[in-house]
Structure 1
Amino acid sequence: LLSESRPQPDLKMNLSFAGCGFLGIYHVGVAVAFKKYAPHLLLHRISGASAGALAACCLLCDMPLGEMTSDFFRVVNEARSHSLGPFSPRFNIQTCLLEGLQKFLPADAHERVNGKLHISLTRVYDGKNVIVSQFNSREDLLQALLCACFIPVFSGLLPPRFHGVRYMDGAFSDNLPTLDENTVTVSPFCGESDICPRDNSSQMFHVNWANTSIELSKENINRFGRILFPPKPEILSSFCQQGFDDALNFLHRNNLISCTRCLAVQSTFVVAEQPATSLEERIQEEYDPECSECKECTQHRKNALVGSMPDNVLTVFQTYIEQANKGLINWVFRHRGGKLLTALSLPAILPADILCATLTKLMVAAPSIGNQLWAVSKFFLKNLNRILLKVSRRQQQQQRTANLQCHVALTEYNQNTAQHHHRSSIIDMRMDGIER
């Protein structure tokens, strides 16, 4: 049985992105490195949880990373603009995600990712992990991504449904889904993942949380604090660059950076199914030996060592960093006095935020609420009328029963009275006969 395959087992790797909230910008750096230096690795399955599922979907749909980065910073700026940050009543992360996905997700996205995108979800009623990979429509895919990013209380109170079942963030059950032994794991936390930051620590203590290896270090503690609270644009930019550098290091360690010519030779290499040892021997016999010492590959690897992220992504970072630093208000709130003023004003700002958020939700939901109230009113009046009819019929029935009982009693009384009079007359007649 002949099949088209690649001679190097490494090229059959799958990717798995960990859920990490606002640290998902780390995955953008990894995605940029893979698209630029190893695009052949993106032809297979990609899995992810939470923000990792969004990154996997963007890669498989070949969405513009520059525009996606800009939309990410739009959400970050909106979250940082409120008094309580992303926990403000006026901030809705689900609405922000839905707007961005509806804007950039192609119409045939579900067809592109079917069987390739594996989203990790947590079923609400039993807490079990569910991996979904089949989507019937674009709206079906959107709903699955919203379920994958739902964190109770932070995202809302009622989890969304997917195929009639409520799901929440897959990070609660399997934060780093592994499809098979060839899965390359990506995580923004220092640990035992294939692509992750390498901190200068003892690396003695590790915690396995929802299938994610996390080292107990000061740097990881700081990263955990930024999962739900987005840091400044400068810090987010450094996270993205860190992901880019870590991905390049992984590609270098595994010799996965090749020139276009060598990739073409690898992609058209045809072998028969046979044991692994004979396969390696056949690769050595039939594989072009020039590819191992290809000058273009060597130059390509040297360029990758000093490579940087694309200009469109760097431009987005520079734009938002400048916006965050310029202006009188930003200058005031960068100092301790401005931060203290923000903290002191919370008792006055928070009730106003809650009132504004409540009124906004009522205005948005007014049409549907009106229809629902009308339907509830009709249902209530219909049932009230039915109850009143039953009560009225029961009262009439009880009244008829009482009249019938009274009529029967009178009839019996009259009959008894007639018999009494008849017996009395007979007795009187008999008495008269005796006297005579």
Structure 2
Amino acid sequence: MKHINLSFAACGFLGIYHLGAASALYRHGRKLLKDVKAFAGASAGSLVATVLLTAPERIEECNEFTYKFAEEIRRQSFGALTPGYDFMARLRSGMDLILPANAHELAHNRLHVSVTNTKTRQNYLVSKFSSREDLIKVCLASQLTILSSHTFEEERGSTWAAQPVLLASSFLPIYAGLKPVEYNGQKWVDGGLTNGLPILPVGRTVTISPFSGRLDISPQDKGQLNVYVNVAKQDMMLSVANLVRLNQALFPPSKRKMESLYQHGFGDAIKFLLKENWFE
């Protein structure tokens, strides 16, 4: 039996690409998914990994919610950081409807979330979750790269509370004004800063990213110099298109563009399934 892992890269608002890829894998990649032992992700990628693992039949519902949510954020004067706008409450309402009652049980020891310790600058992959409530609170900050002032606790050899873990995974310090996740004297930030594309030690890890690069499922930019840069363990092509994508990752693009990103994610995943003889 093959040992396959799926890893979704950190990408902020480009998470809609991940949803397109996840939809293609769910519809046409059953042969692949039956061999998947673990799911991994950083920042927005960790949320899509969670949905594909625990509620794959609701990917399309998650997709529609993302369109509406992004449009709501675009209408705000300062986006998700607009004073008085309750980003967390709005996202919570969507996740409450999507994740099943046993989501934390399905995710336990199969979902690996990337987080960074600010003091040591070391990366950690967290895979133990104690309750559905913890997992929902974790997902609240994992879809979009926005800061949050929640906390979490590390206990070596025991369970990490899932809520603060994914909140930490989605913390990106380029957004000013909010503090890193703190608990017991430790500060934690976005796992995408140190490991934006977790590769698990056992088996083959299939990599998924909306940025063009040396990846299994990703856009393939044409007519570019064959130059790559390694950003937080993710090999990205140095291209104008990737610079545009970086801007879109930080600020949600129009619905038309998001629909296009979704379709590109779907199409790139189909190409991968056909290439690997996993399509059905």
TM bracket, shorter-chain basis: 0.7 to 0.9
CA RMSD between the two structures: 2.1
Give the equivalent residue in structure 1 for 2:156. Answer: none
1:295-306 aligned at under 5 Å gives the runs: none
In the alignment, structure 1 residue 86 sits paired with structure 2 residue 80: yes
Q: What is the identity, as a one-letter code, of the residue corresponding to 2:262?
A: C
In the alignment, structure 1 residue 129 sits paired with structure 2 residue 123: yes
* TM-aligned CA deviation for residue 18 of structure 1: 0.2
Q: SS of 1:44's equivalent?
A: strand
Q: What is the identity, as a one-letter code, of the residue corresponding to 2:39?
A: I
* TM-aligned CA deviation for residue 218 of structure 1: 1.2
* TM-aligned CA deviation for residue 162 of structure 1: 7.4
Give the equivalent residue in structure 2 for 1:152. Answer: 173
Give the equivalent residue in structure 2 for 1:173. Answer: 194
Q: What is the identity, as a one-letter code, of the residue corresponding to 1:59?
A: L
TM-score calculated relative to the size of structure 2: 0.82
Instruction: Identify the structure with the greater helix proportion.
Output: 1
Deviations along 1:165-211, one digit per CA (max 9) or x if unpaired, are 54221111100000035001101011101111011123421110001
Q: What percentage of aligned pairs have identical amino acids?
A: 40
Q: What is the identity, as a one-letter code, of the residue corresponding to 2:103?
A: A
Instruction: Identify the structure with the greater strand proportion.
Output: 2
Match among 189, 192, 195 for residue 211 of structure 2: 189
Give the equivalent residue in structure 2 for 1:13. Answer: 4
Cα separation, 1, equivalents of 2:72 and 2:106: 31
Give the equivalent residue in structure 1 for 2:15. Answer: 24
In the alignment, structure 1 residue 65 sits paired with structure 2 residue 59: yes
* TM-aligned CA deviation for residue 94 of structure 1: 3.9
Give the equivalent residue in structure 1 for 2:94. Answer: 100
Q: Indicate how the Cα distance of structure 1 residues 162 and 58 shifts in structure 2: closer, same or farther if over 3 A, else same.
A: farther
Unaligned runs of 5+ in 2: 139-162
Deviations along 1:386-406, one digit per CA (max 9) or x if unpaired, are xxxxxxxxxxxxxxxxxxxxx
Cα separation, 2, equivalents of 1:228 and 1:24: 11
Unaligned runs of 5+ in 1: 259-436
Match among 205, 226, 232 for residue 210 of structure 1: 232
* Structure number, greater radius of gyration: 1
In the alignment, structure 1 residue 241 sits paired with structure 2 residue 263: yes
Deviations along 1:103-134, one digit per CA (max 9) or x if unpaired, are 32222111011111000011233221110001
Aligned 8 A contact 1:147 1:161 in 2: no
TM-score calculated relative to the size of structure 1: 0.54
Q: What is the identity, as a one-letter code, of the residue corresponding to 1:249?
A: K
Q: Indicate how the Cα distance of structure 1 residues 27 and 118 shifts in structure 2: closer, same or farther if over 3 A, else same.
A: same
Cα separation, 1, equivalents of 2:253 and 2:274: 30
Aligned 8 A contact 2:23 2:60 in 1: no
Q: What is the identity, as a one-letter code, of the residue corresponding to 1:67?
A: E
Aligned 8 A contact 1:94 1:155 in 2: no
Deviations along 1:125-163, one digit per CA (max 9) or x if unpaired, are 322111000111123323132222222363861334579
Match among 30, 33, 58 for residue 24 of structure 2: 33
